[in-house]
Every structure is written in C-alpha cells, then in structure tokens.
C-alpha cells in the first residue's frame, strides 16, 4: 500500500486527540490498541513516504544519561 501525506495527517490528528480509531481517505477504518501503536504506525508511514520519494528512512536515536549519584 502506498501511503500519502493525508494518511500521515490522519495518524497525527489521532495522536494529538488521543483517538485510537482512524479512518483513512480510502475508507479503511483501523482501531489501534494504544497510542504507542499509533506512534509505531506513524513512524512506518513516514519511512514508507520517504522510501517512495527516494530518501533514506529516518532512524531514531535514544540517549540515556546518568550522573551516577
């Protein structure tokens, strides 16, 4: 399935409002179990859009810092 910016906008709106059920432009309705699943879906859609445009997918970096006190 080729994702569009509209699909990403639907996901972003759902994350912003806390909705777990979204309906895409093609009429497909999806109910997610958690906001975490929505965030994973968002990342997947962003990577697919970037891949389709010929750009490399974004990768996340997580940094943990501790003073050791």
Q: Are 7 and 24 in contact (CB under 8 A)?
A: yes
pLDDT at 11: 95
Quick: pLDDT tens for 18-58: 999 999 888 999 999 999 999 999 999 998 888 888 776 66
- Tokens (6 digits) for 56: 């490399």
Taking the complete model, does pTM exceed 0.85, yes or no? no
Q: Which residue has the higher pLDDT, 20 or 1?
A: 20
Average pLDDT over residues 11-21: 94
Q: What is the DSSP string of 1-51?
A: ----HHHHHHHHHHHHHT--EEE-TTS-EEE-S-HHHHHHHHHHHHHHHHH
pLDDT higher than 70, residue 66: yes
């Amino acid at each position: 399935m080729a994702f569009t910016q509209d699909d990403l906008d639907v996901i972003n709106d759902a994350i912003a409002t806390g909705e777990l059920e979204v309906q895409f432009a093609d009429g497909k309705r999806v109910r997610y179990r958690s906001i975490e699943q929505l965030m994973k879906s968002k990342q997947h859609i962003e990577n697919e859009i970037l891949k389709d445009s010929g750009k490399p997918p974004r990768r996340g970096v997580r940094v943990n810092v501790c003073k050791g006190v």
